[in-house]
Amino acid sequence: MKYDVRIENISAATMTSTESGYGLIDDAAVLVQGDKIGWVGKRSEAPAGTADKTVDGNGGLLTPGLIDCHTHLIYGGSRASEFEELLTGTSYTEILKRGGGILSTVRDTRNASLEELTKAANRRLSSLIKEGVTTVEIKTGYGLDFETERKIIQAMKNLEKQTDITVKKTFLGAHAVPREYEKKSDAYIELVCNKMIPAFAGDVDYADVFCESIAFSLPQTKRVFEAAQQHGLKIRVHAEQLSNMGAASLASEFGALSADHLEYIDEAGVRNMADRGTTAVLLPGAFYFLREKKIPPIDLFRRYSVPMAVSTDSNPGSSPCLSILLMLNMACTLFHLTPEEALQGVTINAVKALGLENECGTLEKGKTADMALFNVKSPAELAYTMGGNLCVKVWKAGKPVFSAAVE
Ligand code: NIG
Ligand code: FE
């Protein structure tokens, strides 16, 4: 058998099942054939045959390409000045209520050209790729009008072409009530359901809603889910971030792939998620940045076997974060995950949140050859280190997309 690439002198965290933890193989070899993984195992057992190219991993750790399953990477402007206000005691909710917050990013995003949006998002995405990210989910939601939401979707497509990274697309038209619909949020929901979802359903993979007292109510959320489902979109939801609205349970009834944030979810909500196989996406960056006090009920997720994913939530207002590795650290220090659970959160469980479990997220034969090589001796170092970049090489579908200057 002939292979294209042979990677050796590595240990491999295959992440093949949550029961096997890291699924670690010492002194491993991985063989790549085209865009797929052809073989993974002990180097001593590797099939005979040649590979066009051999990569010496220098004793590093190979993982599946990392998956950032919840981001808002495409937006105009910055909210650094609001950060200063947050630090001196003005709350996130107060800022949004006076027309700042998400709405200030909406103004900047409407004013930005497609090229500007794409370029800024490409810079952000390249920071993630350098840390091993090979699949990213990106949401709309800073347009809140037909034209700007469409522009954001176009920027996602541009990004995908420019980087070769898989960009899974989420329509989050119901992110905030735009200024021009102030006190007419039902009319805005009508626009989302009757105009935007039918027009954009062919271009995106999922629909999302920010269900919260400062955004949309549970009945409004339900209307969006119904419209999304009618148009073949899978559901995900910003749920129980600042209060318990029951959005995670509602989303689970709609067979949602994920419910995200979840600081305020109760046991019944967790049980409903477990019943419907909905993944919990944990976002420690937003928790940290907003200096929240209540952490998601990690023990309940464990007890009910709800898969836990971890993501940057990269966005200008609650998590201006461009490091998936830092999120591993924060998932452990702030939310009390183990380093093993944290790595599962950006691999095998992140693909569950995106419905991509047959394609990527683990190192095993037949999966897409999305891989990241880190200059670490043990997988726990990925969550242990704060800052700096441990990643030395990244492959997307068998092709190198990043190589560190110093390995
Ligand atoms: O995931 N919760 C709502 N949406 C984003 C924040 C968006 C913003 O503040 O710009 C989040 O935290
Ligand atoms: Fe978010």
Print the SS3 string covering the chain.
CCEEEEEEEEEEECCCCCCCCCCEEEEEEEEEECCEEEEEEEHHHCCCCCEEEEEEEEEEEEEECEEECCCCCCCCCCCHHHHHHHHCCCCHHHHHHCCCCHHHHHHHHHHCCHHHHHHHHHHHHHHHHHCCEEEEEEECCCCCCHHHHHHHHHHHHHHHHHHCCEEEEEEEEECCCCHHHCCCHHHHHHHHHHHHHHHHCCCCCEEEEEECCCCECHHHHHHHHHHHHHCCCEEEEEECCCCCCCHHHHHHHCCCCEEEECCCCCHHHHHHHHHHCCEEEECHHHHHHCCCCCCCCHHHHHHCCCCEEECCCCECCCECCCCHHHHHHHHHHCCCCCHHHHHHHCCHHHHHHHCCCCCCCCCCCCCECCEEEECCCCCHHHHHCCCCCCEEEEEECCEEEEECCCC
Q: In the predicted model, what is the mean pLDDT of residues 104-123?
A: 98
Nearest CA to ligand 1 atom 6: 318
Q: What is the pLDDT of residue 347?
A: 98
**Pocket probe mutation, ligand 1, options 313, 314, 321, max atoms within 8 Å of Cβ:** 313
pLDDT band, residue 19 (cuts 50/70/90): confident
CB 407 within 8 A of CB 396: no
User: 74, 236, 67, 75: which is closest to 156 by C-alpha?
Assistant: 74
Please tell me the distance from the alpha carbon of residue 246 to that of residue 240, in angstroms, as a whole number: 7
Q: Give the C-alpha separation, 279 to 252, whole Å.
A: 9
For 344-387, what is each residue's pLDDT tens digit? 999 999 999 999 999 999 999 999 999 999 999 999 999 999 99
Q: Closest Cα to atom 5, ligand 1: which residue?
A: 318
pLDDT band at 390; cut points 50, 70, 90: very high
Mean pLDDT of 50-66: 95
101 CA: nearest ligand 1 atom: 9
Phi, psi at 111, each rounded to 5°: -80, -10
**Cα of 120 to ligand 2 centre, how many Å?**
18
**In this structure, which residue's CA is closest to atom 1 in ligand 1?**
313
- What is the whole-number distance in angstroms between the Cα of residue 362 and the centre of ligand 2? 25
Quote the pLDDT of residue 301.
98
Cα(168)–Cα(257) distance, integer angstroms: 13
Q: Would you say residue 179 has pLDDT above 80?
A: yes
Residues framing ligand 1 (Cβ under 6 A):
72, 101-102, 105, 210, 238, 241, 286, 313, 315-319
Q: What pLDDT sits at residue 380?
A: 97
Query: 213-263: per-residue pLDDT in tens?
Result: 999 999 999 999 999 999 999 999 999 999 999 999 999 999 999 999 999
Ligand closest to Cα of 247 equals 1
Distance of alpha carbon 397 from alpha carbon 33, whole angstroms: 10
What is the per-residue pLDDT for 202? 98
Q: What's the gap in Å between 62 CA and the centre of ligand 1?
A: 32
- Asked if pLDDT for residue 305 goes beyond 90, the answer is yes
pLDDT confidence of residue 49: 74
Ligand closest in space to the Cα of 137: 2
Task: Report the pLDDT value the prediction gives residue 8, as an integer from 0 to 100.
Answer: 96
Instruction: Specify the pairing of strand 399-403 against strand 133-139.
Output: unpaired
Cα separation, 193 vs 79, whole angstroms:
29
Could you give the percent of the chain with pLDDT greater than 90?
Answer: 96
* 105 CA from centroid of ligand 2 (Å): 14
Q: What angle do the packed helices 102-111 and 146-163 form, to 10 degrees?
A: 70
Closest-approaching ligand to the CA atom of 316: 1
Structure tokens at 325: 């590795």
Spatial CA neighbour of 86 closest among 260, 286, 274, 234: 286
Ligand with minimal distance to 96 CA: 1
Confidence at 328, pLDDT banded by 50, 70, 90: very high
> How remote is the CA of residue 201 from the centroid of ligand 2, in Å?
20
Say how many Å lie between the CA of residue 276 and the centre of ligand 1.
25
105 CB burial (10 A radius; 0-12, 13-18, 19+): buried
Residue 405: predicted pLDDT:
86
Helix axes 114-130, 146-163, angle to 10 degrees: 40
